[in-house]
Each structure stands twice: as structure tokens, then as C-alpha cells.
Amino acid sequence: MIFGPEFLLSVVVALASGFGAYAAIRADLATLHERVQNALKEAQRAQDRIDQLLKRKTDYQ
């Protein structure tokens, strides 16, 4: 079987499309990871504030 230039070009385009989709997914996952990390930090800060308020309340009672 002889592969013509049209076939080879379509293989190259298919591979490039696959790599492009892979790169886009990886970038989305990296962004999502950063957002989750930031949300966890903010949740911890909020929990610390709640703990301080509760401690203050129990100290006065």
C-alpha cells in the first residue's frame, strides 16, 4: 500500500489536532488546580476567622 501526500497530510493534521486538544485540556486542568488551591486557602482563612469568633464568644461567657 502506497501512502500519498494527501494521506500523510491528513495524518499530520489529525496528530496536530490531537496534540492541540491534549494541550488545551492540560491547560484547563492546571487552571482548575490553581482555582481549587485558592479556594482551599480561602476556606481555611474563613474557618480560622470563625474559630476566632467562637473562641472570643466562649471567653466572654
For 33-60, b/e burial (b = at least 16 CB within 10 A) is eeeeeeeeeeeeeeeeeeeeeeeeeeee
Q: Please state the pTM of the whole predicted model.
A: 0.68
Residue 31, C-alpha cell as written in the block: 487552571
Average pLDDT, the chain: 94
Q: Is the pLDDT of residue 53 over 70?
A: yes
Output the pLDDT for position 57.
83
Q: What is the pLDDT of residues 7-18, one digit of tens each?
A: 999 999 999 999
Average pLDDT of 40-61?
A: 91
Nearest CA to 17 among 25, 42, 60, 34?
25
- pLDDT band, residue 22 (cuts 50/70/90): very high
